[in-house]
Amino acid sequence: MSHPIALYLHIPFCETKCPYCDFNTYAGIEPLIPQYVDALAEELRLWGQALADSPKVKVILPPQKSSEGRRVPQQVGTIFFGGGTPSYLPPQHIQRLMDTARASFHLLPDAEATLESNPGDVTPERLAAWRQAGINRLSIGVQSLDDGLLSLLGRRHTSAEAVQAYRNARAAGFTNVNLDLMFGLPRQTLAQWRDTLAPILDLRPEHLSMYCLTLEEGTPLWAWVRSGAVPEPDPDLAADMYLLAQELAEAAGYDHYEISNWALPGYEARHNLAYWRSQPYLGVGPGAHSYLDGYRFAVAKSPRTYIQQVRECSSLPASLWTPQALKERGLLESSEAIDARTARGETMMMGLRLSEGVADAAFRGRFGVGLRETYASQILDLEEVGLLCWEGDCLKLTARGKLLGNEVFQRFLG
Ligand code: SF4
């Protein structure tokens, strides 16, 4: 496998829990932060050692060798601090984790290093500390510029604070900034969405992630909608909002390179591209997922269990630091070898999210068989109903297919 890996670090702390969120993140467990950062640094160190030093890890990922035959650290092309709210961590912890990543892996000189942030945390002091640590891409959770909707979403910031956070990031020298927005919210009108989009596009962030709200079962917002206390979002209106986002972002010069993501030329999120292109990634921290050389595995979700399990597993020799062994010891809650059929289906599901689509030559290069032979009936059916099309040797979603992506993906996963 020749790709550098994408490295994800999960930070499961939030100041408060937003009522729509079902991510693996917690409010009120701040006393765990020092032990948690110790465990995360230890997990990074152990993975770095295992992927560089142990011949047995060949079953996961071949260790790379220098020309003199010395084992060399695994290359890392991107780092992503996600959560949770990584910006909520005292910044010295970000510095320590970046230092540990550098000491444990070969972080490529042009590596993209992203940190997710909440607007209230984006202060000049923290920005300077993040830059010092090596963070070169900032993602800010703006969500909306409507204060009423921000309040409904339980966000801790106002629209003015979100814009100020962006300006602070620019003043601190960040030249690669993503803004996260949400649409399809209860009570949100098309006019309100336009009133968020237009000023956001005027700010010219390099990247925009715009996701339709999903009502996750079991969250407070889901319960409020269920009880009738909050109206259910209208899916047709949400589709109109998506089309408006497409239209305005395109007119402003953004490339709609993935179903929910737009970028100025050259600023696509390299870390997420690794997921969408089915390239290898390693996730550390509770609930984080990894995909390395045909194995998919996920860490146990509870931060307390995680801290405990990393301590217990840290005495393992590097040769035993493998998904199979870590699952037996309880650090991983799942680990499975991905068979070729599943890998092909996942490649379609992830690759079709991208406007570049899935190239027949690349698919054949990876699986030894072309798209038409593998998915003859699915492709014909989906072409016939106008959801898929060919452009050269690339199979892509049509404009309508982008609205109905989940229906298309299901056809390749069966
Ligand atoms: S800040 Fe983000 S991760 Fe934390 S609870 Fe809110 S939506 Fe979830």
CATH of the domain at 366: 1.10.10.920
Which of ligand 1's atoms lies nearest the C-alpha of 118?
1
**Mutation probe of ligand 1 site: the residue of 13, 17, 140 with most atoms within 8 A of C-beta:** 17
pLDDT at residue 114 in the model: 98
Residues pairing with 289 in the sheet: 298
pLDDT of residue 185: 98
Report the distance separating Cα 392 and Cα 405, nearest Å: 21
| Last-in-domain residue among 274, 300, 328 | 274
* CA-closest candidate to residue 353, choices 256, 248, 216: 256
Would you say the CB of residue 25 lies under 6 angstroms from ligand 1?
yes
Ligand 1 near 91 CB (within 6 A) = no
H or E element, residue 20: none
Ligand 1 site, residue 14, Cβ cutoff 6 A: yes
Question: Which atom of ligand 1 lies closest to the CA of 155?
Answer: 6
pLDDT score recorded for residue 414:
73
Cα separation, 72 vs 37, whole angstroms: 25
Tell me the three state secondary structure of residue 397: strand
User: Which residues form the domain of 373?
Assistant: 340-413
Looking at 274, 294, 317, which one is the last position of a domain?
A: 274
Do residues 168 and 124 touch, judged by C-beta distance below 8 A? yes
Q: Which two tokens stand for residue 191?
A: 């006019």
For residue 57, the model assigns a pLDDT of 43
CB of 21 shorter than 6 A to ligand 1 = yes
Pocket probe mutation, ligand 1, options 10, 15, 16, 25, max atoms within 8 Å of Cβ: 25
Instruction: Write the residue with the smallest CA distance to atom 5 of ligand 1.
Output: 17
Q: How many domains does the chain have?
A: 2
Nearest CA to ligand 1 atom 6: 18
Give the pLDDT of residue 72. 78
Can you give the pLDDT at residue 54?
45
Say how far apart CA 384 and CA 367 lie, in whole Å: 26
Residue 330 lies in a domain: no
Please tell me the distance from the alpha carbon of residue 382 to that of residue 379, in angstroms, as a whole number.
5
Q: Are strands 394-397 and 358-359 parallel, antiparallel or unpaired?
A: antiparallel
Task: Encode the chain (414 residues) as per-residue pLDDT tens digits.
Answer: 468 999 999 999 999 999 999 999 999 999 999 999 999 999 999 999 989 854 444 444 444 555 555 667 899 999 999 999 999 999 999 999 999 999 999 999 999 999 999 999 999 999 999 999 999 999 999 999 999 999 999 999 999 999 999 999 999 999 999 999 999 999 999 999 999 999 999 999 999 999 999 999 999 999 999 999 999 999 999 999 999 999 999 999 999 999 999 999 999 999 999 999 999 999 999 999 999 978 999 999 999 999 999 999 999 887 888 898 899 999 999 999 999 999 999 999 999 999 999 999 999 999 999 999 999 999 999 999 999 999 999 999 999 999 899 999 999 987
Say what the pLDDT of residue 145 is: 98
Q: What pLDDT is stored for residue 59 in this prediction?
A: 40
DSSP E strands: which ranges in 29-176? 64-65, 71-72, 75-83, 106-117, 137-143
Whether 40 and 140 map to the same domain: the answer is yes
Listed residues 228, 255, 274: the one ending a domain: 274
Q: What is the CATH number of the domain that holds 62?
A: 3.20.20.70
DSSP string for residues in 367-412: HSS-HHHHSHHHHHHHHHTTSEEEETTEEEE-HHHHHTHHHHHHHH
